[in-house]
Amino acid sequence: MALMNENYLKLPGSYLFSEIARRISEFKKENPDADIIRMGIGDVTRPLVPAVIKAMHQAVDEMSQAATFRGYGPEQGYEFLARKIIENDFTPRGIPVDIDEVFVSDGAKSDTANFQELFGLNNILAVTDPVYPVYVDSNVMAGRTGSVNAKGQFENIVYLSCTEENGMKPSLPQTKADMIYLCYPNNPTGMTLSKEELKKWVAYARDNKAIILYDAAYEAFIREEGVPHSIFEIEGAREVAVEFRSFSKTAGFTGTRCAYTVVPKDVKVFDSQGNAHSLNKMWLRRQTTKFNGASYPVQAAAAAVFSEEGKKQIQETIHYYMENAAIIRAGLESAGYKVFGGVNAPYIWFKTPLPSWDFFDKLMKEAHVIGTPGAGFGASGEGYFRLTAFNTRENTEQAIERMKTKMIF
Ligand code: PLP
């Protein structure tokens, strides 16, 4: 008899976006003509830019000729892409990154979910609440968490509540934490941490021999000066942090799939005897065993993100989304909502006058606008709601207009 991994039984039954899809489909059955505007799921809407498409076409052509055909590539990614990543994302910020510290992959979702494998099951993790659910669920699957309480919170996880009271910024853990997940710019709140704030986290990790798993998937959306783009801007972070990046939102690669993780050689984890081991070596071992690399055409396309025309075209797209974000922010504020985010991130997070799923239903039924209920991201997300800037200008303006006129409390 094949026995199951019973940790899966601890997971909540319905994934947030399936529940949203179920409610939409029920509503559409009764209202087939409703003109629904979707601002829920965080997926881009604009196509890949021409520079990326051109590079991808060229790479596909190379694959069609025996002389230029490529089979398996290096599991950790082609050097041509890793070099471009370092030259563009780190060197200009004065961050030294070695070529063998960059691991190219097929997504930050898989990287953030897989990375926990390198840690013992007795580690305590800390996550912000609300949080991108992948960090929690992947640790539950691995068996690092205990039972779940009525609020949906797991034993052995320290939840760092982010609410209006603390300006959506987590406080340092009050009890021991070994693996700390931070995501900035944040999904779902759209908020960022300043350098001074990040320094406290790096100091905590150094003092407690903890590791920060830093998800910077939305780094490209930072508009304000002085906001850190990488945890490695903080002195000492190379010894205690790993950083996840993605081409998904930066360059519209959600359906194309490419991301990377930086694992400095200075980061160490310890065995039960207290001996230090290199996390970089462990991740290399893990990736070379379980992953066979992102495809060549995709990596060639990702490299074009860093070409002169690629950078310019991508900035135009990001600017377009961020103008949407500004429209949403201003519209919600003028309608009297307390709003967070949307300045350095494509997410706008706001307080709702109803519990978040009730607000979801009312928004769908009366304004035909879909968003994401904050409660889906954790207990502290109750009473909040997320809208995304990934849409057309027309839809964004329409949605805000409808919210102003139809969502009267
Ligand atoms: N990290 C965060 C915080 C995200 O919001 C997302 C996607 O929504 C991801 C990672 C996943 O990125 P990718 O498409 O590279 O898997």
Q: Is 248 in the pocket of ligand 1 (CB under 6 A)?
A: yes
What backbone torsions phi and psi does residue 269 show, to the nearest 5 degrees? -120, 165
Question: Is residue 39 within 8 Å of 391, Cβ to Cβ?
Answer: yes
What digits encode the pLDDT tens for the residues 348-387? 999 999 999 999 999 999 999 999 999 999 999 999 999 9
Q: What angle do CA 24, 189, 408 make, to 5 degrees?
A: 55
| pLDDT given at position 17 | 83
Mean pLDDT of 330-354: 97
Residue 131 amino acid letter:
V
Expressed in angstroms, the distance from the first to the final Cα of the chain is: 57
Candidate of 16, 132, 254, 299 to mutate for ligand 1, largest count of ligand atoms within 8 Å of Cβ:
132
Percent of the chain, pLDDT > 70?
Answer: 100
CATH architecture of the domain covering 54-306? 3-Layer(aba) Sandwich (3.40)
**Is residue 286 scored above 90 in pLDDT?**
yes
Q: What is the pTM of this model?
A: 0.97
Question: Is residue 172 within 8 Å of 204, Cβ to Cβ?
Answer: yes
Cα separation, 83 vs 99, in Å, equals: 7
Residue boundaries of the structural domains of the chain: 14-43+309-406, 54-306
Structure confidence at residue 406 as a pLDDT band (50, 70, 90) = confident
**Is residue 13 scored above 80 in pLDDT?**
no
Distance from residue 177's CA to the centre of ligand 1 (Å) = 23
H-helix segments, 291-382? 296-304, 308-334, 356-362
Q: Is 256 in the pocket of ligand 1 (CB under 6 A)?
A: no
For ligand 1, atom 5, name the residue with the nearest CA: 187
Q: What angle do CA 262, 340, 35 make, to 5 degrees?
A: 100
Structure confidence at residue 12 as a pLDDT band (50, 70, 90) = confident
Q: Is 219 in the pocket of ligand 1 (CB under 6 A)?
A: no
Q: Is 130 in the pocket of ligand 1 (CB under 6 A)?
A: no
What backbone torsions phi and psi does residue 6 show, to the nearest 5 degrees? -70, -10
Cα separation, 233 vs 225, in Å, equals: 14
CATH topology of domain 14-43+309-406: Aspartate Aminotransferase, domain 1 (3.90.1150)
Containing H/E element for 203? helix 195-208
| CB half-sphere exposure, 163, CA atoms < 13 A | 12
Distance from residue 183's CA to the centre of ligand 1 (Å) = 10
| pLDDT given at position 97 | 98
Q: Is 187 in the pocket of ligand 1 (CB under 6 A)?
A: yes
Residues sharing a CB contact under 8 Å with residue 225, sequence separation 6 or more, in sequence order: none
Q: Is 298 in the pocket of ligand 1 (CB under 6 A)?
A: no
> Helix, strand, coil proportions of the chain in percent (round to 5)?
45, 15, 40
Candidate of 112, 183, 260 to mutate for ligand 1, largest count of ligand atoms within 8 Å of Cβ:
112
- In this structure, the number of other CB atoms found within 10 A of the CB of residue 195 comes to 11
Q: Is 246 in the pocket of ligand 1 (CB under 6 A)?
A: yes
**Is residue 15 scored above 80 in pLDDT?**
no
- In this structure, the number of other CB atoms found within 10 A of the CB of residue 301 comes to 30
Residue 219 amino acid letter:
E
What digits encode the pLDDT tens for the residues 45-95? 999 999 999 999 999 999 999 999 999 999 999 999 999 999 999 999 999
Distance from residue 217's CA to the centre of ligand 1 (Å) = 6
What digits encode the pLDDT tens for the residues 26-36? 999 999 999 99
